[in-house]
Amino acid sequence: MISNDVLNHSCEHVLAAAIIKLFPSAKLAMGPQTHANGFYYDIDIEEPITLSDLSNIELEMRNIIAKDIPFEKFNVTKEEACKIFEKLNQDYKKEILDWIPDKNIILYRNDNFIDLCRGPHLPSTGAIRAFKLLNIAGCYWRADKNRKVLQRISGIAFLSEDELNLHLLRIDEIKKRDHRKIGSKLNLFLVSNPLIGPGLITWLPNGSLIRMGIENFLRKEHFENGYDAIISPHIAKLDLWKISGHWEFYCENMFSPMKIDDQEYILKPMNCPFHILAYKSKPRSYRELPIRFCELGTVYRYELTGVLHGLMRARGFTQDDAHIFCTWDQVDQELDNIINFILKVLKKFGFFKFEINLSTMPKKYVGNLEHWKRAEKSLEQAILRHGITYTIDTGGGAFYGPKIDLKLKDSLDRSWQCSTVQLDFNNPERFDLNFMNSTGLSERPVMIHRALLGSLERFIGILLEEYTGALPFWIAPEQIRILTIADRHTEYAKKIEQILIKKNFRTKISKENDKLGAKIRDAQMDKIPLMLVIGDKEIEQENVTIRTRKGENLGLKNEHELLAYCESLM
RNA sequence: GCCGGUAUAGCUCAGUUGGAAGAGCAACUGAUUCGUAAUCAGUAGGUCAUCAGUUCAAAUCUGAUUAUCGGCUCCA
């Protein structure tokens, strides 16, 4: 059984050999196989490679594969390797040799192409059955922006044409589902208006309905789970961010201060300081704990223009944020509640597969070590109690405490990080938070930051891609469209519309002077979950005919049956 | 921010060697009153992203700016 890693790795050597043949002056940098089933090679080459060059390179690669050249492994000393790459004029390889501690170096050879490589490889190039070059990109040597920009050619290899085609279909499917395309087709949001600015989102009526639907759902759930609401401003004095430590540790993600009345203010990158001050607004007793403050808080973070991506990565976004203030004894129970809450909410949106990442103390951190260890342990045990598989990201925590991130898996098997739970014993310290314990002594509470969906914008992006815009009934901006056969049916249609609106369903009457077929087509294109057809027959029997987005005709229903059916979809 | 693409009507896109700005859909107007994915006809819609430059002549060539897309974590 040949692993994908070995296959991709070998294909990458074929790519390098092809490039050297076509561009003899090219200097090869590095070319590992990627995590996502593929390979790339970074090369330093004078002339820019364009997409049209890829087919030539592919052609040369096919030649090499057709010749079925064996991969020969051989050992040399570092000095010998250095001489070989000197002769081949491969400076980057010589640099890589410097980082390798071993005295003996493994090289691989195909024909007259030699590369520095640990292997393993396929026996020969002929074993590569299917591959494709996908992309060209620029990137820095060793990801260091002070060093030379190289050209990266990336591609993918498989053991069979079928697998390759499946993969290409998947790439196609991902492109088709791009939330930015769906968003503009369905008039959901503006994200690229040059007068508003990059990474800033304006919700159009239908998009606003989706967002408000989610917000209403979240509010209801939070109140049922013992949270209290906070509403905080979008800017605050720089001093606040100095106390919280953000100005010191997070300033590269914050927008520059603005001057108001000789004081410096900052657009908020987080909601927590406001919730902390809300906690501090009066003396607290142990009887009040845990205190759970929630807010759909819009935050602004500076992101490099190059990393902005529709709703998925924006400069202004709204978090379903909450901060829980509790005693150390209450932490475990609270963590359990939060994980249950997260799973419940994500399942409501149709996500059932998850992964968890536990991120531990980073190099840049505040607080004492003992608290860090205790907090990391609490988080780990909370995960274990829920039996979800998890991985540990050493050093990936926030500067003020460790965290767990929950990723959901979508139907194309992509994972998205949404939920996050962070323990914080630093801010209570910084802001001098207290409560009176049962023995009359002042004690310091622990703080838990958590978000369920993360950013509403991003989550809606994920939903749109998951459902290709055809959102479930309960969250669809327009749930029901009423289609009349002829003008004389409009009056009855309006009556049905009023009945539905009174029950809080979102519905519209199709206004076009079109045939039924055209109205159905429009509704299908607009991804409306339910259509009600009204003609002579329906009016006569005081019924409507229900047609679903999937094309099912559910037949005639009276008012009561219609409402019951709609209710069942909520 | 950096590297490389891209920018033409609301949307999807044509536009040849530099020589009069195009189509389909959407919109609007009129006719049609129709039973489960497109009725017909007509009208209107543009500083070819912006600003400079080359040229007798620029959507087309050059430069800058803006926006946008793909990358910039994986260590032989």
Asked: is A181-466 a CATH 3.30.930.10 domain? The reply is yes
- Cβ of residue A105 lies below 7 Å from strand B: yes
Which H or E run contains A119?
Answer: none
pLDDT given for residue A276 in this prediction: 96
At residue A453 the predicted structure's pLDDT band, cuts being 50, 70 and 90, is: very high
Q: Tell me the per-residue pLDDT of A46-103, one tens digit each, with 9 for 90 and over.
A: 666 666 677 778 888 888 888 888 888 888 887 888 888 887 777 787 777 777 777 7
- Cβ of residue A550 lies below 7 Å from strand B: no
Query: Taking the domain A480-568, which CATH number applies?
Result: 3.40.50.800
- Cβ of residue A193 lies below 7 Å from strand B: no
Q: Which of A179, A180, A222, A449 is catalytic?
A: A449
Domain definitions of chain A by residue range:
4-167, 181-466, 480-568
Q: Which of A42, A115, A320, A321 is catalytic?
A: A321
Query: Taking the domain A4-167, which CATH number applies?
Result: 3.30.980.10
| CB-based contact A386:A339 (threshold 8 Å) | yes
pLDDT beyond 80 at A474: yes
**Lowest-pLDDT range of A89-103, A224-238, A331-345, A541-555:** A89-103
Distance A131 CA to B57 C1' (A): 49
pLDDT beyond 90 at A37: no
pLDDT given for residue A94 in this prediction: 77
pLDDT given for residue A146 in this prediction: 66
Q: Which of A11, A117, A272, A566 is catalytic?
A: A272
Which DSSP string corresponds to A210-262?
Answer: HHHHHHHHHHHHHHHTT-EE----SEEEHHHHHHHTHHHHSGGGSPPPEEETT
- Cβ of residue A196 lies below 7 Å from strand B: no
What's the CA gap between A466 and A160, in Å, rounded? 28
Asked if A301 is an active-site residue, the reply is: yes
State chain A's maximal CA–CA distance in angstroms.
94
pLDDT given for residue A441 in this prediction: 94
pLDDT given for residue A345 in this prediction: 95
Q: Tell me the per-residue pLDDT of A475-491, one tens digit each, with 9 for 90 and over.
A: 999 999 999 999 999 99
Q: Which residue minimizes Cα–C1' distance to B1?
A: A304
Q: Within 10 A of A250 (CB to CB), how many other CB atoms are there?
A: 17
Span A441-465, average pLDDT: 94
Give percent above pLDDT 70 in chain A.
96
Which of the nucleotides lies closest to A537 (Cα–C1')?
A: B35
pLDDT given for residue A1 in this prediction: 55
Paired tokens of A157: 């290899």
**Vertex A477, ends A472 and A478: CA angle to 5°?**
95
pLDDT beyond 60 at A34: no
pLDDT given for residue A33 in this prediction: 52
pLDDT beyond 80 at A448: yes
Please, what is the average pLDDT of chain A?
Answer: 87
pLDDT given for residue A273 in this prediction: 95
Give percent above pLDDT 90 in chain A.
46
pLDDT given for residue A31 in this prediction: 66
- Cβ of residue A309 lies below 7 Å from strand B: yes
Q: Tell me the per-residue pLDDT of A347-402, one tens digit each, with 9 for 90 and over.
A: 999 999 888 888 888 877 777 788 888 888 888 888 888 888 888 888 878 777 88
